[in-house]
Amino acid sequence: MPRRTHVCRQILPIVLNSFHSVQSRRLLPLAMAFAVIALLLPQLSSAQNTVLNFENLPQAPLITQYANKGVTFNGHMLRDYSQTPGFTHSGHEAVELCFAAEFCSSPLQADFTVGQSRVKVWVGFSSPMSAAATVALQAFNQNGTLIRQVTAVLGPSNTPILVRTPLQINTTDANIRRILVTFLPTTNVPAFNNGLVVDDFEFRTAGGPPVCTTTVSPAVQLQQPLANTVFQTNNFPLQGQVATAAPLQSATLTVTNSAGTKSSSLLGILIQQSGGPFGVTSVFDELAPGSNSVKVTAANCHGSGQSPITVSYQPIVQGTGFKLIGMEVVQATQDLQNTVPLVAGKPAMVRLYLAVTGPTSSIDSVSAAITATHPGSNTSLPNLRSVNSVTVTSSLDPHTSRHDLAKTINFMLPADWYAEGTLHISVSEIDVHGTTSPVPCDGCENNDNVGPLFTHFQPTKALNLVLAPYVYEPHSQPGLVATPDIFFTPMGALQWLNDVYPLSGNFPAIESAVNIVRILPMQTTTKNLHDGGEQDDFLNDLDDLLDNLRSDAGNSWPSDVHLLAMTPCGCGGIGNAPGGAGMADTWAVEHGVVPQKNFESYGAVWSHELGHNFGRQHAGDAHDEEAPQDLSFPYPHGGIGEPGLALTTEWWNASPFLIDPGIPATGQQHAHDFMSYGDANDLADHTHDWISPYTYKALFQQFLDLNARSAPRQNLIVHGSIAKSGDVVFRPFHIATTAFAGESAESAEYRIELQDAAGRELVSQPVSISRRDRSSSKYFSAYIPWHPETKRIVMKDKNKILADREVSSHKPNLHILSPKGGETWGATATITWKATDEDGDNLTFTVLYNARQNDQWIPLAAGLKEQSVTINTSLVPGSKKARIRVQVTDGVNTAEADSGAFVVPEKPPLVAILGLKNGMTLSAEKSNLVGAAYDPQDGMLPSGKLKWTSSRGGLLGEGARITPRRLAAGRHTITLTATNSRGHRATAKVNVIVRGTRVNGHEPMPPTALRFPANTPS
């Protein structure tokens, strides 16, 4: 009942009481007049004003109901309170702003087609209020100028606040053309209108409907469901878009089938007045078996448009079931028996192989959820839903289905699932068309070994890597200068390596187990790296550099560090097998920006050469692989044997990306193990390099030893080669304190003995034999505990002496000439020294640098015969107390000298945005941003030092890889800012275009699900 009736009931008893108390009949006419006036006042007031009481409204925005009275609303008031006692003001209904919208600041806006002199509303709040808030009624003229504002305070209250607070504005001129009802912001709290309830909207003068501003009817496009789709459950997805040049007056979903026709309003619920995208929404219980017509109709002031399609509903026959016939947990490669070990902290996927049993032979749009428990625990991990849906048939063959991700139900595991530990994984739910399926599943508990009964994630150690960039300027090719790309290529190649190696993390995130310890200062090589002999010489120089990285007690270099030189030689690479040093090709900056497609080929080359370091030989001999060959490699033609899975290489392939092994026969396309010489580019269509289970398992064993470091000791570091003829060549030895014990020896065939002056054995130790591509020689190295009485070093094959070296009586003398101390280095610096030896031995020199920020001595050059060297300082860490150390060996005896302190200017970080190019188009919904920064002082910068911003969205996040929340459609300048520990900053920028699913400037509605309880027959 309207409040005005309540008011009349209060006035009338007062008037009648006055009538009975009158002593004189002369007052009767006056009393009766008052009574009549009292009864007529509300009616007279009502006759002069229009009151919208929101009674009996269908579920649609207010514009549909009241445009004929000259007022249109913004369509935000969507909640009907007819079923909620206590929120009545007029009759039994009221409306609420921003219902089901989080942090909604939208006010109630009403626009009039004619000017008003009076507007009044009643307000309340739909829930308890913890603090008082001020609600305002604001009136504006036709120019948008605020005429007047009135306010009232609601709350605090422990219960919902009834709609009994009036707000009213009167003007002498009929100049009110728009009103807003809204909460006002406070100093610390913005204005959110969630819960604000409005009733009895009153205004002075009703007008005509708004003038139609368009001559075009709406255009409706349905994206889901697709025409002729067959549904097996009684629900279907609804998604599409409406284009309209004027506000919509109605939007309706109509479903016609054998049960009749039902219509439901979508306006304000799914489709907005301004049109735009809508859905995805699930519509339940509207289909009937057989053919169904689904139609969305939208109308504006000019006319209507529609998009009808036909679908079918064929329910699943009773007696049908699912059967789990396989489960696979994969990180890079796996077999059906799940024998490939899993690494803790490495991204992982679960693949389910599901089949149908019973009378229904095929069920489409099947998705699932899995859960997991730790053995001995009764607590399950939260349900994890699949990232895809598939069609499940009765004829599923796991052997062929493994070759297609679209045929298995896939789950990307969250990090807490693949942390160190053991899991039992089971299927917790199967959905059909997005609805939990009542169809039973045989084996979903995973207790019958259909999958790995227990999944173990084991920790592995890091790959500690020092990169050594070399300008390629071979003496045999005058004028050729190729400068290595020292950042983009390593970032891409090492992400690929992180994907295929049994290493945790996701490079270039600092948490990755691919640990770039240092990028050494740039050097130049004049060796022709296409020549086998000069390649060997270059690798020998790298061995000398590596010895320095592994030397010196207290040095902070990891004892198991690997050294990889990168130079743009176009020559592939070379590496000791086994060993710690190698060389691999890289991009030349003279050629511009490295193409993204090259990351995979560089990744395969780098993985190959480092694989040699870990003892891996070439995968067979089908591609004329040179020694060392592994003739026990189990897969034909150097293939990968099992499907590979790339989970983190999203720069150049979609992730996850399946690598099909193909058919490993001559002339047939197939993927190659990166330890093979098989070149995918030899084929007309590019296949891929990846890793086989055989190589993965072998590398896994190499990375299992988490405690490889031993106590430092003084060692004689021995290097040399044994020619095919048996001749032995010793490299210069030197004595150093190191915690590295050397690579394990394959056998005791070759030994190094340290003998005293009388020829007595002091120390005897087997040596490690390694091999190199394109070389018939064997290479040996050993870290021999040094004995101070040693006078002779002997190489033996069993008891046969192959070579020996006498230990001179005197150490060399050494003095550094420059820097003397106090200098400031520029872009290049020349270091000189003076060395002599009383025994007249040939001397070999190594130059190291220390920034005095830690105990790392960084090798600048090794294997030098001259007594000076010029250094490129671009990657030399800055310091105000820098020092140089020069080491000299006469072949065994070692001496060193340090310079005085000098200054090297600090450098800003190197920063790169990876995988994006200027002008590239990104998705608004999900865009992965990947970047990295290396600082000459600090090394690889951690996530907290990398900040992403957008010219339109401000701060996007921190870290090497982020997935920002929805980006606004349009042009963006994405900036990655890197800050080192000293506050020096550097930025990288890229201009991109974000492609949203916006239509007519509007964002899509979020996914939801609808049931229409109030369907009305047409």
Q: How far apart are CA 81 and CA 764, in angstroms?
A: 93
Q: Which amino acid is located at 622 in the chain?
A: A
The predicted structure's pLDDT at residue 103: 62
CA atoms of 947 and 931, how far apart (whole Å): 10
- Our measurement of the distance from residue 419's CA atom to the centroid of its chain's CA atoms, rounded to an integer in Å, reads 18
At residue 9, the pLDDT reads 26
Q: Can you tell me the distance from the alpha carbon of 231 to that of 254, in angstroms, rounded to the nearest whole number? A: 17
Interaxial angle between packed helices 598-613 and 488-500, expressed in degrees from 0 to 180 and rounded to the nearest 10: 60
Note the pLDDT of residue 90: 73
Are 913 and 755 in contact, with CB atoms under 8 Å apart? no
Q: How far apart are CA 579 and CA 561, in angstroms?
A: 10
∠ CA 108-112-115 to the nearest 5 degrees?
Answer: 125
Q: How far apart are CA 618 and CA 611, in angstroms?
A: 9
Cis omega before residue 280 (within 30°)? yes
Q: Please give the sequence-ordered ranges of beta strands (E in DSSP) within 71-218, or none if there are none.
A: 71-73, 77-80, 95-97, 108-116, 118-125, 133-140, 146-154, 161-170, 176-183, 196-203
Give pLDDT, residue 95.
Answer: 74
Return the exposure string of 41-55: e unless at least 16 CB atoms fall within 10 Å of the residue's CB, then b: ebeeeeeeebebbbe
Residue 209: the pLDDT is 82
Answer for the pair 908, 981: CB distance below 8 angstroms, yes or no. Answer: no
821: burial class by Cβ within 10 Å (0-12, 13-18, 19+)?
middle
CA distance 578 to 614: 5
DSSP 3-state assignment of 392? strand
For residues 605 and 655, give the distance between their C-alpha atoms in angstroms, rounded to a whole number: 22
pLDDT at position 682: 43
Q: In this structure, which amino acid lies at residue 323?
A: K
What is the predicted pLDDT for the residue at 793? 95
What is the distance between the alpha carbons of residues 734 and 889, in angstroms, rounded to a whole number?
Answer: 6
Encoded tokens for 681: 């580019």
pLDDT in tens, 494-540: 999 999 999 999 998 878 999 999 999 999 999 999 998 899 999 99
Which residues neighbour 552 within 8 Å (Cβ) at sequence distance 6 or greater? 736, 737, 738, 855, 857
Beta sheet of 954-958, edge-to-edge order: 920-923, 985-995, 970-979, 946-950, 954-958
902-919 pLDDT, tens digit each:
999 999 999 999 888 888
How far apart, in whole angstroms, are the C-alpha atoms of residue 768 and residue 721? 11
Residue among 276, 432, 300, 424 nearest 354 (CA):
432
Nearest by Cα to 323 from 423, 392, 385, 370 = 392
The total of other beta-carbon atoms located within 10 Å of residue 34's CB is: 15
Give the model's pLDDT for residue 45: 45
Give the model's pLDDT for residue 22: 36
852 DSSP assignment: S
Work out the number of other CB atoms within 10 angstroms of the CB of residue 16.
13
CA dist list (Å): 553 to 548, 605, 732, 862: 11, 34, 21, 19
Whats the size of the chain, residue-wise? 1018
Backbone region of residue 839 per phi and psi (left: phi > 0; alpha: psi in -120 to 50; beta: other values): alpha
Name the E strands within 225-289. Answer: 230-231, 235-243, 250-257, 260-265, 276-284
- The DSSP call for residue 867 is S
User: For the chain, which residues score pLDDT lower than 70?
Assistant: 1-47, 56-65, 74-88, 92, 97-104, 188-189, 552-555, 650-651, 665-667, 679-687, 705-710, 745-747, 853-854, 925-926, 996-1018
Query: What pLDDT was estimated at residue 11?
Result: 26
Please report the pLDDT score of residue 823 as a whole number.
94
Q: Which amino acid makes up residue 995?
A: R
